[in-house]
Structure 1
Amino acid sequence: MEKPQDKVKEPFSAYGHHSYADYLSWQLDEMVELIRGKVFRQAAAPRLIHQRISGKIFNPISNFLQGKSCEVFSAPFDVRLPVSSRDPDKIDTVVQPDLCVVCDPEKLDELGCVGAPDLIVESLSPGNNKKEIQLKYEVYETSGVKEYWLVHPDERTLLIYTLESGKYRPSRLFTFGDWVRSLALPGFELDLDEVFGEL
């Protein structure tokens, strides 16, 4: 019979304020993100539809970026925000976007990205809507992410937030039959029939 003292204690407090230095010290079997010092667990592995949509967005971006200075990365890939310092003790936000594009190689190191990517793509999943729609939105906006794409897999929709004068301006809601263009990646176009079709 398991005794209380046999249980493995959490390496972090759900109510404490944590830094990237703490995050690096944790030995976890699950993915977590750190937003303004608070820990957020990944509820479960992404659903099949989530993975398919990510792939259908990743591949065209990757093909478009061939021979260019920008690079696209998929989760798990640590993005540390904001960038007032590279000191792990002073960073309190570490997110793992579904996809992100980084055009400044100075922001990349062996641990991921330090600072705002040019483009971030996140897909909604059961249990993460508040985190993606509210918490990450605020962090991405204040950190200077030029474009934030929010995908709703079940509804087959895409909303693009574009940073203008430090605030996000939302696009109309895109869906089947639409081509979307990126201001962060001039010349890039994505056919949403290809993304949402045959799911």
Structure 2
Amino acid sequence: MSTVAVTWTYEKYLTLGDETRSEIIEGDLSMTPTPGFSHQHVTAGLLLILGHYIEKTGVGFIVTAPTDVILSDYNVVQPDLLFVAKNRRGIIKERGVFGPPDLVVEIISPSSHYRDVHVKTSLYERFGVAEFWIVNPFMKSIEVLLLSAERCYALFSDGCLMADGKEKVVSSVLAGLTVDLTEVFTESFIAEG
């Protein structure tokens, strides 16, 4: 018996209900497992740092997953964090963000490494996400990728928490923001079992 591949659309995705954490990439549905403690610890740290900057400057809006980002009828993702600039608030609707955010953050988990680093990089490039952060809690590192005029990502800033603890990353989209990795990865650990 052969199976017929089902192409998922945003309309069909809506039938899943709010209880299911899932994404559609190129019409393929993938269920997203609940993130582990280390992942959520890093998410909370980044949310505090970015949220404080955004509140202080009033430049836009930041939210965490699960928030749908509808890039097209066949591409619906839930980045770990996303930022939309105030002048683009029109893409924010109650059901999600309809169009590319200005900045997305993906925090790598062992089960999502390939999708987050390879598949989503290509997707975010194609749909015009201006800045993409890849956060690796296991390496205690952050790579900040900036979209060029040719719609390709180039490394804008990267940092890995070294023994001296002085590594920082900067953002282009959030001008003037510097993130000290010691603040992101404080008490960060890879939880046992």
- Output the TM-score relative to the length of structure 2: 0.87
- Aligned sequence identity (%): 29
C-alpha distance in structure 2 between counterparts of 1:169 and 1:39, whole Å: 29
- Helix, strand or coil: the match of 2:5? coil
**In the alignment, what sits opposite 2:81?**
99
C-alpha distance in structure 2 between counterparts of 1:189 and 1:146, whole Å: 17
**In the alignment, what sits opposite 2:22?**
32
Q: Is the 8 A contact 1:14 1:38 kept in 2?
A: no
- Helix, strand or coil: the match of 2:160? coil
Specify the structure having the higher radius of gyration (Cα): 1
- Helix, strand or coil: the match of 2:66? coil
C-alpha distance in structure 2 between counterparts of 1:47 and 1:113, whole Å: 25
Aligned residue-pair number: 178
C-alpha distance in structure 2 between counterparts of 1:100 and 1:14, whole Å: 34
C-alpha distance in structure 2 between counterparts of 1:135 and 1:18, whole Å: 17
- Output the TM-score relative to the length of structure 1: 0.84
- Stretches of structure 2 that go unaligned for 5 or more consecutive residues are 189-193
**In the alignment, what sits opposite 1:139?**
123
Encode CA deviations 1:124-150: one digit per residue, 9 max, x unaligned: 112111111111111100111011000
C-alpha distance in structure 2 between counterparts of 1:131 and 1:150, whole Å: 11
The amino acid across from 2:70 in the alignment is R
Tell me the CA shift for residue 170 of structure 1: 2.0
- Stretches of structure 1 that go unaligned for 5 or more consecutive residues are 1-12, 83-90
The amino acid across from 2:65 in the alignment is A
C-alpha distance in structure 1 between counterparts of 2:16 and 2:31, whole Å: 13
1:73 maps to which of 42, 63, 66? 63
Q: Is the 8 A contact 1:14 1:39 kept in 2?
A: no
C-alpha distance in structure 1 between counterparts of 2:131 and 2:105, whole Å: 8
Encode CA deviations 1:42-98: one digit per residue, 9 max, x unaligned: 1x311111001011111111111115141001001000114xxxxxxxx11110000
Q: Does 2:164 align with 1:164?
A: no
**In the alignment, what sits opposite 1:150?**
134
